[in-house]
Amino acid sequence: MDGDSYLLQLLRYIHRNPIRAKIVKNLNDFEWSSHQGYISKTNDWDWLYKDFILSIFSNNKKNQLIEYNEYMGLEDKEEVLTILDSKKWSSFLGSDEFILTMKEKYYVNKRDKEVPESYNLSPDVSWIKEVVCKYYDLDSSSLCISKRRVFNEPRNVAVYLSRYFTNSTLEQLGEDFNLNTHSAASNIITGIKKLKKNSLKFNKKVEEVKKLCLKCQIKT
């Protein structure tokens, strides 16, 4: 999570769930929530770790509760609602720069085929396309050109890396690269693997692009 502001927005989203669900009109009327612990002045809620959250609002304890209540009374930001109302939550909540930094920092050590969620750390297809286009010095439209018996190296490398980094299905790769069938994506991936094995020069080139995909500071 990228900083205190996003943490507070997540907290507000969770606490305002009963209002969005039309269970209550007033947040204070919903008793089955840690929100009650935040506004309580009794010792009953001492088990709730809330001091850090309240300290974000103010260093002055007298003002903390006032500012907390004011913040909870505000509507959720559209950006946060778009992310958190989706059926599948993102692994990250923050700016694009923050997300790219997290991917760069943790992808190599955390990627695991047995842990599907770890692929959230990988570069996405749009980023892979951007890096490949920069490396080969061409326009992105070139990655969707498919001519029979013509080897489109940049596109094929992009397809291979998209499969490697994101574990996208063959059908999804077909959509992303304008391929007629999912078998076309499979053939491309198999072909790149053979070329990498049989050509040290080509293998070095693919590995260079792979490393560039992990460097989030590349600017096009």
Give the global pTM.
0.53
The per-residue pLDDT of the chain, averaged, comes to 83
Task: For residue range 22-74, list pLDDT tens digits in order.
Answer: 999 999 999 899 999 999 988 888 899 999 999 999 999 889 999 999 999 98
> Is residue 2 predicted with pLDDT exceeding 90?
no
- Give the pLDDT confidence score for residue 121 in this predicted structure: 62
3-class secondary structure, 192: helix
pLDDT tens, 130-147?
999 999 998 888 887 777
**Within 13 Å, how many C-alpha atoms sit on residue 160's CB side?**
23
Q: What are phi and psi of 152, to 5 degrees?
A: -95, 90
According to the model, what pLDDT value does residue 115 have?
Answer: 56
- How many Å apart are CA 7 and CA 34, to the nearest integer? 15
Structural domains in the chain plus CATH codes: 3-84 (no CATH), 96-214 (1.10.1750.10)
d(CA 98, CA 96): 5
Position 219 scores a pLDDT of 44
What span, in angstroms and rounded, lies between the C-alpha atoms of 78 and 84?
Answer: 10
Cβ atoms of 2 and 98 within 8 Å: the answer is yes
Q: Residue 70: its pLDDT value, please?
A: 93
